[in-house]
């Protein structure tokens, strides 16, 4: 069993990575394999609306100049998908938006190829705008027909400089609870009779 995390921050190993790792640590405690893709230093472009994915039906985007198809391959091989974005101007980052547009279009074209994977999104924020960012990822996961676990609050951690989120105790607890619920759900989906 494996969960792949996608960190769409422009800062490698920043607050979003810390929040994602807090979730992943709980999954690891439950024996689930994890991996993280960090998009810092990489650029994903948005959907070109070429609609080639609607014809090729090959589970890939026709735009092959960036790593979107590599990300798709890793997600297809995973049981769970964890998205992470900092809040940029009260929304997700441009890279997360591009990921949502293109992987969403490809998934839709291929009979919702990510459906019934367990999916969740987490957000780092300095002060305001986290909920639109959280909602953007939630709406994607929902449309992709993923199964979304809850937590003890919405999945938000507060901090500006790298490491600040470690001071947000409630945010960290929310990530831990999310990780525990995600592990529980992954095991139930794999084997409903298991306690």
The CB-of-11 to ligand FMN minimum distance in angstroms stands at: 4
Q: Which sign does the torsion angle of CA 111, 138, 83, 150 carry? A: negative
The site string for ligand FMN over 117-146 (x = CB under 6 A, - otherwise) reads -------xxxxxx-----------------
Closest residue by Cα to residue 102 from 79, 133, 75, 134: 75
- CB 116, min distance to ligand FMN, A: 29
The site map against ligand FMN for 12-51 (x = CB under 6 A) is --xxx-----------------------------------
Within the chain, how many helices (H) and strands (E) appear?
A: 6, 5
| Per-residue CA distances from 54 to 49, 102, 116 (Å) | 10, 12, 21
**Residues 147-186 close enough to bind ligand FMN by CB under 6 A:** 159-160, 162
Q: State the nearest-atom distance from the C-beta of 14 to ligand FMN, in Å.
A: 2
> What is the CA angle 36-63-20, rounded to 5?
15
Q: Collapsing DSSP states into helix, strand and coil, what is residue 119?
A: strand
Cβ at position 76, least distance to ligand FMN in Å: 26
Listing DSSP states for 3-71 in one string gives EEEEE--SSTTSHHHHHHHHHHHHHHHTT-EEEEEE-TT----------THHHH-SSS-S--SSSHHHH
CB of 160 to ligand FMN, least distance (A): 4
Choose between 149 and 159: whose C-beta lies nearer to ligand FMN. 159
Q: Which C-beta is closer to ligand FMN: that of 1 or that of 162?
A: 162
CB of 94 to ligand FMN, least distance (A): 9
Give the binding range for ligand FMN (CB under 6 A) out of 10-18, 64-72, 102-110, 111-119: 10-18
Going residue by residue from 83 to 112, which x/- string records binding to ligand FMN, judged by CB under 6 A?
A: ---xxxxx----------------------
Angle between helices 169-190 and 15-29 (to 10 degrees): 40
**For residue 7, what are the β-bridge partners?**
38, 84
Binding site for ligand FMN (CB under 6 A): 9, 11, 14-16, 86-90, 124-129, 159-160, 162
């Amino acid at each position: 069993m494996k969960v792949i995390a996608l960190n769409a921050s422009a800062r490698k190993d920043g607050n979003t990575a810390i929040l994602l790792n807090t979730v992943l640590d709980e999954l690891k405690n439950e024996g689930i394999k994890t991996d993280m893709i960090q998009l810092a230093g990489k650029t994903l472009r948005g959907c070109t609306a070429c609609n080639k994915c609607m014809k090729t039906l090959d589970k890939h985007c026709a735009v092959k100049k960036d790593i979107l198809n590599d990300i798709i391959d890793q997600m297809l091989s995973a049981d769970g998908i964890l998205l992470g974005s900092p809040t940029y101007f009260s929304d997700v980052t441009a890279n997360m938006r591009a990921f949502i547009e293109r992987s969403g279009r490809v998934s839709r074209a291929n009979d919702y190829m990510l459906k019934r994977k367990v999916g969740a999104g987490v957000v780092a924020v300095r002060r305001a705008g986290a909920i639109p960012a959280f909602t953007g990822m939630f709406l994607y996961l929902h449309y992709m027909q993923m199964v979304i676990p809850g937590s003890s609050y919405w999945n938000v951690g507060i901090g500006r400089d790298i490491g600040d989120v470690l001071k947000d105790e409630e945010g960290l607890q929310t990530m831990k609870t999310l990780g525990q619920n995600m592990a529980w759900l992954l095991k139930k989906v794999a084997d409903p009779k298991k306690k």
